[in-house]
Amino acid sequence: MTNNHKPELRQAFGRFATGIAVITTLDTQGAPYGLTINSFVSVSMDPPLISWNVIRGSTAHQIISQQGRFVVNILAHDQKQVAQQMTGPIEHRFDGMACSVSDDGLPLIDGALAAFECDTHALIEAGDHDIILGRVSRFTHHEGPPLVYWKGRYASATPDA
């Protein structure tokens, strides 16, 4: 496949609706760090493993590689602003953000539908990304509609009647 096909491939990938999550952790100075993802997947129940993808060489990759612990916060339908803020300038991602702190000192996004506290289990090279495998140590969840991403836009999911 040539580079000429990348925009078309991105459009084809966009036909698959995905949930939106924010990965939170602490940087090397102990400051909160977060990023928005749409590549979260449950992998295994025993042991409890999840995965998500990060661009190799990015700031996020560097921080996650060094930290070894992170939280996956699954966003609710009304948290579009949280998703957008976590893609902005790093120094402003937590400005005014409603957060609490896990027992291990990691940031938790208030109002998220679920939060999975994880230890990094493995980083697996996959093209220009690494697949991050996380082993779930703790989790919380509650009911509500999720924020999703479809055809290059944020959307809401509604259950079938």
- Interval 23-56: pLDDT, tens: 999 999 999 999 999 999 999 999 999 999 999 9
Q: How confident is the prediction for the chain on average, in pLDDT?
A: 93
- The domain locations on the chain are 3-156
Per-residue DSSP letter, 66: H
Confidence (pTM): 0.92
- Interval 3-18: pLDDT, tens: 677 788 888 887 778 8
- Interval 78-122: pLDDT, tens: 999 999 999 999 999 999 999 999 999 999 999 999 999 999 999
Nearest to 133 by CA among 142, 141, 124, 146: 124
- Tokens 């509609």: give the residue: 145
In whole angstroms, give the CA distance from residue 133 to residue 76. Answer: 23
3-156 is a CATH 3.40.50.10540 domain: no
In whole angstroms, give the CA distance from residue 38 to residue 14. Answer: 11
Tokens of 82: 């949280």
What pLDDT score does 39 carry?
Answer: 93
